[in-house]
Amino acid sequence: MLDERYRAYLRWTIYQIYPRSFMDSNGDGIGDLKGIISKLDYLQELGINALWICPCYQSPNDDNGYDISDYESIMAEFGTMEDMERLIGEIHRRGMKIIMDFVPNHTSTKHPWFQESRKGKDNPYSDFYFWFDEKPNNWQAAFRGSAWEWDEMRGQYYLHSFTVSQADLNYENPDVVKAMQHVVDFWREKGVDGFRIDVIDLISKDFSKKRDDFGPRLHEFIRELIGREPFFTVGESDVHDIGEMVRHCAANRHELSTLFVFDHLECGRADKFTPKKDSLKFLRDCLIRWQQETAEHDLLYTLFSDNHDQPPLISRIADDAKLRYESATDLAAMLYLLKGVPFIYQGQEIGMTSAHLDSIDDFDDVESINAYHDFCRTMPEEEALGKVDFGSRDNARHPMCWDDTEGAGFTTGTPWISLHPRYREINVKSDRKADKSVWRFYQSLLSLRRNNETFLDGDFDVISSVDDPYFIYTRAWKDEKWVIVCNFETEQEISVPFDCEAPALTNLKRTSMSGVYAPYECAIAMVSD
Ligand code: GLC
Ligand code: CA
């Protein structure tokens, strides 16, 4: 049985906000906190009761806020601490929760700790980071190039797992643990309900290992940082194995409540920048495996397909052109009626797609730009651009499309990054009015889920077999059972081995559960006994 506390988290429906691109309230082209406040009613109407807000702390923005120069103040472009307090208050007033992004692995090199640290070996911050006379290994940074950078002032190398301006903190130093505990307590006192924790697998290192993750003191550091009292935490970690997840998330470990498992997102690509043809079967089989294994070990699982680092899944494994509505809704039914905590990324509720840009100048993301220059060394520019266009994180970072006016309803000014090229077609206003509305489907789906204990705590079972080009699963609780049918890419006859009530929700108005299904058609019904 899932731990009591974890069962409560199943009731959270979390919406991820990338503040820079969500809603601009003052016309400077940059999304901000007041903009978020203005959309809380909208989110509530959709059926959201918790928000995860990507970093909104003071930052030079080399990695859009993941390079923090002060954890306890707000990025001026986003507003003030008062705006933040108002946002927390407005969220709580609506009975919703707020989860902040916590970035413990690295600070910006502009952070005063680093500025002090680089001054020499005998200041109080000297050991806040990793300094070496010689590179101790040849670790590579996630955003390309060596993970070691020479610092003139200090006359030593420091470690940066991401850009050169994101220096890794040294948790072997108890003062670092204390400083970061202070950050956690600061935000808890402000009233936040949980944390999404950035690259948590990196906070302990073993320099003799091939890679910079899962160091020997990882679990100890996690407990020191966040295990002091129960609190919702979801870690970003490179976990692919249930045993590893148990070590992080079993209730008696007092570490993370859950973590994002990324295995299912590997569908539709050979690597981050290389497409590969895949069927929804890949996604299904991955999800089944994790549903079964997390149930077996009483772990809380996260249900998500998109985030600020991932091009929309719909563009990788479904039809984001002709059957965009069907694809978006079918994917939602495949995912969000499983057991776990749903995370919906901004724009997903209207079936937002990858952007497709035709010049490298239109990209902003540091990872994409570095990758492009790297690719150009071995291939023609056009091919390099194609790869970046496919895999770029910017695909998820274009401003939220609220309507089809000049600034897409996001801004009255010039947006900090180009508007999505399809914003006149795909936007909240048009979608909500459309005959085939992704938004209304999400709203119905979330309401179905929220209002039936079966979809929260009920057991998962898979009915279709491994060779079937579709997915049938059930959720059962006490004497109630629901069946969910999601067809894949091709039209076919599907027969459901239960007597069912009329479908409670479908994406194409079908009236019975068995029969011919159109591509990406889905239906959900209660099983009659
Ligand atoms: C995580 C974030 C990503 C960021 C990186 C470094 O992967 O999701 O956006 O660039 O960590 O902080
Ligand atoms: Ca603004």
Question: Encoding tokens for residue 433?
Answer: 């009015």
CA distance 103 to 180: 10
Same domain, 125 and 67: no
**222 belongs to a structural domain:** yes
The DSSP string of 199-256 is TGGGSS--TTSSSSSS-TTHHHHHHHHHTTS--EEEEE----SHHHHHHHH-GGG-S-
Same domain, 402 and 304: yes
- pLDDT per residue over 155-186, tens digit each? 999 999 999 999 999 999 999 999 999 999 99
Tell me, yes or no, whether 141 and 264 share the same domain. no
| pLDDT class of 326 with cuts at 50, 70, 90 | very high
Cross-strand pairs, 150: 157
In a shared domain, residues 292 and 418: yes
CA of 501 relative to ligand 1 center, distance in Å: 45
What single-letter DSSP state applies at residue 264?
G
Q: Distance between CA atoms of 268 and 315, rounded to whole angstroms?
A: 9
Q: Whose CA is nearest to atom 5 of ligand 1?
A: 66
Asked if the structure places residue 92 within a domain, the reply is: yes
Closest ligand 1 atom, residue 106 Cα: 12
Q: Which atom in ligand 1 lies closest to the alpha carbon of residue 307?
A: 8
Residue 529 has pLDDT above 80, yes or no: no
Q: For the chain, first and last CA: distance in Å? A: 26
Tell me the CA–centroid distance for residue 73 and ligand 2, in Å: 17
229 lies in the same domain as 310: yes
Residue 50 sits in the same domain as residue 189: yes
Among the bound ligands, the one closest to the CA of 411:
2
> Into how many domains does the chain fold?
3
Ligand 2 centroid to residue 366 C-alpha, Å: 22
Residue 230 has pLDDT above 90, yes or no: no
What's the confidence (pLDDT) of residue 48? 98
**28 and 142 part of one domain:** no
CA distances from 313 to 217, 332, 373, 390, 425 (A): 35, 11, 25, 11, 19
- DSSP helix/strand/coil, 478: coil
Say if residue 190's pLDDT is above 90.
Answer: yes
| Distance in Å, CA 162 to ligand 1 centroid | 8
What is the tens place of the pLDDT at every residue in 97-113? 999 999 999 999 999 99
How far apart are the CA of 371 and the centre of ligand 1, in A?
Answer: 15
Q: How far apart are CA 11 and CA 13, in angstroms?
A: 6
SS (H, E, C) 394-413: HHHCCCCCCCCCCCCCCCCC
Is the same domain home to 382 and 433? yes
Any residues with CB less than 8 A from the CB of 385 and at least 6 apart, and which?
358, 359, 360, 372
Is 126 found in the same domain as 65?
Answer: no
Q: Is 198 a catalytic residue?
A: yes
Smallest CA-to-CA distance from 253 within 230, 287, 235 is with 230
pLDDT computed for residue 43 by the predictor: 98
Residues 371, 482 share a domain: no
Residue 185 is among the residues annotated as catalytic for this protein = no
| Ligand found nearest the CA of 32 | 2
pLDDT at 516: 98
Ligand 2 centroid distance, CA of 25 (Å) = 5
- pLDDT grade for 228, boundaries at 50, 70 and 90: confident
pLDDT at 273: 97
Catalytic residue among 168, 201, 236, 349: 236
Residue 207 has pLDDT above 90, yes or no: yes
- Report the share of the chain in percent with pLDDT over 70: 100
Question: What token pair was written down for 190?
Answer: 């402000």
Last residue of a domain, one of 149, 168, 187: 168
For the CA of 162, the nearest atom of ligand 1: 6
Of 196, 198, 260, the one to substitute when testing ligand 1's pocket (max ligand atoms within 8 A of C-beta) is 198
302-334 b/e with 16+ CB inside 10 Å = b? Answer: bbbbbbbbbbbbbbbbbbbeebbbbbbbbbbbb
What CATH number does the domain containing 123 carry? Answer: 3.90.400.10
450 domain residue, yes or no: no
* Mean pLDDT within 310-331: 97
Run of H or E residues at 486: strand 480-487
For position 67, which CATH number holds?
3.20.20.80
Domain closes at, from 443, 468, 486: 443
Q: Quick one: which ligand is closest to 410's CA?
A: 2
- How does the average pLDDT of the chain come out, rounded? 97
Q: Confidence band (pLDDT; 50, 70, 90) for 154? A: very high
State the closest ligand 1 atom to the C-alpha of 143, by its place in the atom list counted from 1.
10
pTM of the model: 0.98
In this structure, the residues whose C-beta lies within 6 A of any atom of ligand 1 are 63, 66, 103, 162, 198-199, 236, 308-309
Asked if residue 167 lies in contact with residue 158, where contact means CB atoms within 8 angstroms, the answer is yes
Is 48 inside a domain boundary? yes
Query: Which residue among 53, 165, 199, 370 has the greatest number of ligand 1 atoms within 8 angstroms of its CB, and so is best to mutate?
Result: 199
At 333-357, the pLDDT tens digits run 999 999 999 999 999 999 999 998 9
Q: What pLDDT digit, counting tens, does each position of 367-381 carry?
A: 999 999 999 999 999
End position of a domain, from candidates 420, 443, 466: 443
Using CA atoms, how far residue 420 sits from 30, 136, 399, 401, 424, in Å, is: 15, 44, 7, 8, 9
Residue 451 lies in a domain: no
Q: Are residues 336 and 473 in the same domain?
A: no
Domain that holds residue 254: 4-105+174-443
CATH number, domain containing residue 498: 2.60.40.1180
Give nearest CA residue, ligand 1 atom 6: 66
Instruction: Give me 94's structure tokens.
Output: 């609506």
Of 66, 105, 368, best ligand 1 pocket probe by most atoms within 8 Å of the beta carbon? 66
Between strands 258-260 and 269-271, the pairing is unpaired
**Which residues have a beta carbon within 5 Å of ligand 2, which is an ion?**
24, 26, 28, 30, 32
The larger pLDDT score, comparing residue 228 to residue 59, is at 59
Q: Give yes or no: residues 49 and 150 share one domain.
A: no
Going by CA atoms, what residue is nearest to atom 9 of ligand 1?
309
